[in-house]
Chain A
């Protein structure tokens, strides 16, 4: 048994009590105990403000970026250890790579973007100088400077590595110290990550603190310069946001909670078209990757009513091939949920969904499991539902945070836009169609409810990173960092060694959104490439103009 330590106020602290047990998601054995008893939370905040903040602010954006990059290299060397711990959370090796490699990729991407887009200075000058007086003696300029507080990062259980890294990296670049609070269920993995990060010796003291266990008592000590990035349930978010200190001192609070993401099939995508296959494959992938425990996973499959039977049949066929079981067993395509409590939660949600839909694949109470016990481990079958009445509220309101999706039929673009909006705001949505006119109508119609939208078709499928894991920055600008960096995960895909160089060039493969500044990016890309000879490394795809 391991009692997880916290790192606060400059030292590792062993909890003052026995703590709460956390069980292995696959075997049910105790993995660790978690408690924050004995951690002085107010002192931890003060330490961040008085030690971490000043140390970070001494560095320029580029110097911070260089430290992040070095940190990414250190973490890469410990990937196998992190994968092994991930397996105890129920994650298959593919799930673990998604979380671990994705997290390290985010870290490195922030480092490279900072070098490309921010000055080698401690202040970010945003936009052009604007004349404010006719005589030219009075002008204006936006500048961005680091907040003097602490970025309190409360993370969800589903991405124990990616979650903390994607919040820590932008805060670090921005010059704001982080205090990371992992979700108890998977805290042992984040705690190991933090040990590696702090143990690397690369981070200025106070720039990263870790509190395992409750941080409830911390909120009353938050100030106007602190900020909170929360990922978790909507109910907890509501409760924290209403904290008197948060309200009274206007503490910046960003919540990233439940999301009833939809994936829309176009009327053109009949059975036999590449788009139909892409749609079904993506739906099943989103249901089973990380056992559906992704804030961006598809919950609502909105398909033309006339195609609903075909989609249901094709999805059932694919789902039937998914082997559920221990990450260690052969051929397993889907692991366990993060905990037995989580399984109960999913079962409760599915029960609620069944008031408005019927099961067309899977049994919430039973699943065949390879290499483990279905009862002691937090296993559940993929569950596909079908709502015969699109108007029923449940599929649009109840999020089952597991391998669960509901097929809902629609008639026409206007109705599908209206149905999508019933999710009341989503992180990610996708439209699968090759009809550009339909894509335009639906994208413009549902965009106000979405952070990110993917239009998938036969042209972009090969390079697309899919509904749930964007490759390009989904929603951020430097101006909003680190406050609103939530679960807007993006991965930096590395590509194989370039012929003749023997190096991997990250910059050439980070997908840069096409736009009027493409040429500028292209050149900036070439200039900033430090992983290989800048002049030989020609950013190709993504940065190129064609």
Chain B
């Protein structure tokens, strides 16, 4: 195959590649993208959810519940001495969990499963009192030839009240090609 470097605005790159590209427009048309089957879902379909305030109680609860009692979350004195944090911070996994709690649409629907998460980076520490907002954007749709569903890769960007990204990652899901499924639709 020929390898070609394409340089363009995010809007045009998205059109050329058929994928949503950071910087390209998002569509938030009021329908939660988790309510859309592959027949309706388009790259760029997005949901913005939040804010949710992270409290010291949340952090302590999460530490106790999971057993992750790393000092940076619980020991103010020791956390202060940490050159990166300078004080107590929330668990990265708490941030990711809160984000899921914000963007998920809970009812039975075309999203069948969450099968993974890739490229996770924690970029800015989250401190007690910070408010988290998550933007989840459909990035890429890969229908499976031999199955009634396909893979959808979502761009997740968790930001704090200052608009800084605190965590970024790709969420991987399996989504039905049609909803309700054809065999049930007639009943």
Residue A143 lies at the interface, judged by CB distance under 8 Å to chain B: no
Chain A: how many interface residues by the 8 Å CB criterion?
41
> In this assembly, does A262 line the interface, its C-beta being within 8 Å of a C-beta of chain B?
no
Q: How far is the CA of A440 from the CA of B22 in the complex (A)?
A: 18
Contact A460 B8 (CB under 8 A): yes
- Interface 1/0s, chain A 501-525, versus B by CB < 8 A? 0000000000001111111101100
In the complex, chain A residues whose CB is within 8 Å of the CB of B2: 447-450
B144 within 8 A of A: no
Asked if B5 contacts A519 (CB within 8 A), the reply is: no
* Smallest Cβ-Cβ distance to A474: which chain B residue: B5
Residue interface bits B83-103, CB-to-A below 8 A is 1, else 0 = 010000000000000000000
For the complex formed, measure the closest distance between the CB of B15 and the CB atoms of chain A, giving whole angstroms.
Answer: 4
Q: How far is the CA of A436 from the CA of B5 in the complex (A)?
A: 17
| Known A443-B6, A453-B5; contact A514-B23, beta-carbon cutoff 8 A | yes
Which residues of chain B have C-beta atoms less than 8 A from A439's C-beta? 8, 12, 15-16
For chain B, residues 86 to 140, give those with C-beta under 8 angstroms from any C-beta of chain A.
118-121, 123, 139-140
- One digit per residue, 1 when the CB lies within 8 angstroms of any chain B CB and 0 when it does not, for chain A 432-464 equals 000011011001100111111111110110001
Does A142 have its Cβ within 8 Å of any Cβ on chain B? no
A-B CB contact pairs (8 Å), 15 listed? A436-B11, A443-B8, A454-B6, A457-B12, A459-B9, A460-B8, A513-B5, A514-B13, A518-B119, A519-B120, A519-B121, A519-B123, A519-B169, A522-B121, A544-B22
A522 lies within 8 A of B123 (CB): yes
Task: Assess whether A436 is in contact with B119, with CB atoms less than 8 Å apart.
Answer: no
Tell me, rounded to whole Å, the shortest Cβ–Cβ distance linking A119 to chain B: 19
Chain B residues engaging chain A, CB cutoff 8 angstroms: 2-16, 21-23, 84, 118-121, 123, 139-140, 153, 155, 157, 165, 168-170
Report which of A443, A464, A519, A535 forms a contact with B16, defined as CB distance below 8 A.
A443
- A residues 201-248 with Cβ under 8 Å of B? none
A436-B15, A545-B165 known; A514 vs B139 contact (CB < 8 Å): no
On chain B, the residues within 8 Å of A475 by CB distance are 3-5
Closest to B122 in A: A523
Q: A439-B16, A546-B23 are in contact. Are A523 and B5 (CB under 8 A)?
A: no
Contacts known (A436-B15, A519-B121, A522-B123); A470 close to B5, Cβ less than 8 A:
yes
| A contact residues around B14 at 8 Å (CB) | 436
Interchain nearest-CB distance for B41 vs A (Å): 18
Closest 10 CB pairs of A and B: A455-B8, A436-B15, A459-B9, A519-B168, A460-B9, A452-B5, A447-B4, A474-B5, A523-B121, A448-B2
Residues of A within 8 A of B170 (CB): 516
The answer for the CA separation of A450 and B3 in the assembled complex, in Å, is 8
Bound CA–CA A515/B23 (angstroms): 11
**Do the beta carbons of B119 and A546 come within 8 Å of each other?**
no
B7 and A454 form a contact (CB under 8 A): yes
CB atoms of A453 and B4 under 8 A apart: yes
Q: Which of B84, B121, B140 has the most CB of A within 10 A?
A: B121
A349 within 8 A of B: no
CB-nearest residue of chain B to A437: B15
Nearest chain B CB to A6 CB, angstrom units: 35
Shortest C-beta distance, A430 to chain B (Å), equals 9
**Bound CA–CA A385/B23 (angstroms):** 39
